[in-house]
Amino acid sequence: QKEVEQNSGPLSVPEGAIASLNCTYSDRGSQSFFWYRQYSGKSPELIMFIYSNGDKEDGRFTAQLNKASQYVSLLIRDSQPSDSATYLCAVKDSSASKIIFGSGTRLSIRP
Amino acid sequence: GAVVSQHPSRVICKSGTSVKIECRSLDFQATTMFWYRQFPKQSLMLMATSNEGSKATYEQGVEKDKFLINHASLTLSTLTVTSAHPEDSSFYICSASDRGLRNEQFFGPGTRLTVL
């Protein structure tokens, strides 16, 4: 059974600080990794994808990938109250067309 | 780009009736579409994967005769919940991907189904 593990939270971060979200996965052959944001009652929204080891930056978001450790993370700089949501880590199944989702980390940015 | 729509956004039906939910990719051709279900405060649960022109692949524990999936074109997939019961009440979300989009999945806005 291929798995994606995330701490369910809630993770509480003061406004303006850096929020750090972590994820580990079991499928060693995976090549594609994603972070989705889901607001309550809404569907997930893709915010970052990463395919290569290292860091990828997009605005206030940085995704980090370490395939050797099977570890993906998401950093959110200058956290805003609007960043409060559930963040889903997702990993492309290496042997099927589907993506495997973690259960999500609930992030709360306190003013 | 990469917009996925779903219709209806919300539906209330009586127990025993069937409900059809449509999922459309508006600006790309979706070779693969996925159907998920999400109960309150729980994670996404993949129900099935459908490829255009072929039968859907259902996840373990999902009844294929109850949740009928059709992916008749590269832009449209439908999910029909047959003989719905209150326990089928949930948030149903589709997503679509295209090989040209490097395996990224783009989600529709979801359909909230309430079965009375």
pLDDT digits (tens, 9 = 90+) for A55-96: 999 999 999 999 999 999 999 999 999 999 999 999 999 988
Report helix, strand or coil for B95: strand
CA distance B101 to B105: 8
Please answer yes or no on whether B43 and A92 come within 8 Å at the CB atom. Answer: no
Q: How far is CA A67 from CA A33, A49, B32, B109, in A?
A: 10, 14, 26, 32
Where does the pLDDT of residue B101 fall: very low under 50, low under 70, confident under 90, or very high at 90 and above? low
Contact status of B108 with chain A (Cβ, < 8 Å)? yes
Give the pLDDT score at B99.
Answer: 65
- Enumerate residues 6+ apart whose C-beta is below 8 A from B70: B50, B77, B78, B80
Nearest to A97 by CA among A43, A38, A30: A30
All residues of chain A having their beta carbon less than 8 Å from the beta carbon of residue B109 are: 42-43
Please answer yes or no on whether B109 and A88 come within 8 Å at the CB atom. Answer: no
Quick: pLDDT tens for A1-32: 889 999 888 999 999 999 999 999 999 999 99
Task: Give the Cβ contact number of residue A81 at 10 Å.
Answer: 10
The tokens of B83 are what? 């003989």
All residues of chain B having their beta carbon less than 8 Å from the beta carbon of residue A49 are: 102, 104
Please answer yes or no on whether B107 and A104 come within 8 Å at the CB atom. Answer: no
Quick: pLDDT tens for A39-58: 999 999 999 999 999 999 99
CA distance B35 to B110: 10
User: How many percent of chain A have pLDDT more than 90?
Assistant: 88
User: How many percent of chain B have pLDDT more than 70?
Assistant: 95
CA distance B33 to B89: 21
Give the pLDDT score at A53.
Answer: 94
Q: What are phi and psi of B49, to 5 degrees?
A: -115, 130
Which parts of B8-89 are beta strand (E)? 10-13, 19-25, 32-38, 45-51, 57-58, 67-73, 76-81
Q: Are A24 and A90 in contact (CB under 8 A)?
A: no
Contact status of B107 with chain A (Cβ, < 8 Å)? yes
Q: What is the mean pLDDT of residues A29-38?
A: 94
**pLDDT over threshold 80, residue B100:** no
Q: What are phi and psi of A55, to 5 degrees?
A: -110, 145
User: What does R_g of chain B's alpha carbons equal in angstroms?
Assistant: 13
Q: How far is A29 from chain B (nearest CA, A)?
A: 15
Evaluate the CA torsion angle A19, A25, A31, A35 in order and state its sign.
Answer: negative
Beta-bridge partners for A29: none
